Amino acid sequence: MKQFFLPTAAGTLLLSLALTGCGKKPEACFTIEKGIPSSKINETVEVNAGCSTEATSFVWEWGDGASDTGIKTNHKYNAAGTFTIKLTAKNDDNSATTTKQVTIVQ
């Protein structure tokens, strides 16, 4: 918050100014480094959001109810199926999301 003192005929007026929402919007991007095009039950799927830009934190949703944080992480699925991995890349002002699918076989 920036403060300004403005002299007036009646005295000094204090003005406070706060700018919000002017930050850069992050771009969410990730690669699946292990586990594509498919992976087996209980094998590790590894993801990396290093290609994201302007982001300071990362939230992962694995599509099976599990979640995690960090620029790199991994997960093991305990059932077969096609799951949507969702990345939310955030900074102080904004967030962005992207998704990819992974197929888990028996």
What is the domain class of 20-105 according to CATH?
A: mainly beta
Q: What pLDDT is stored for residue 98 in this prediction?
A: 99
| 33 vs 29: CA distance, rounded Å | 13
Domain positions in the chain are 20-105
pLDDT in tens, 13-22: 676 655 555 6
Q: What is the pLDDT of residues 23-50, one digit of tens each?
A: 799 999 999 999 887 899 999 999 999 9
Q: Give pLDDT tens digits for 63-75.
A: 999 999 999 999 9
CB 93 within 8 A of CB 56: no
Determine the Cα–Cα distance for residues 15 and 20; give it in Å rounded to an integer: 16
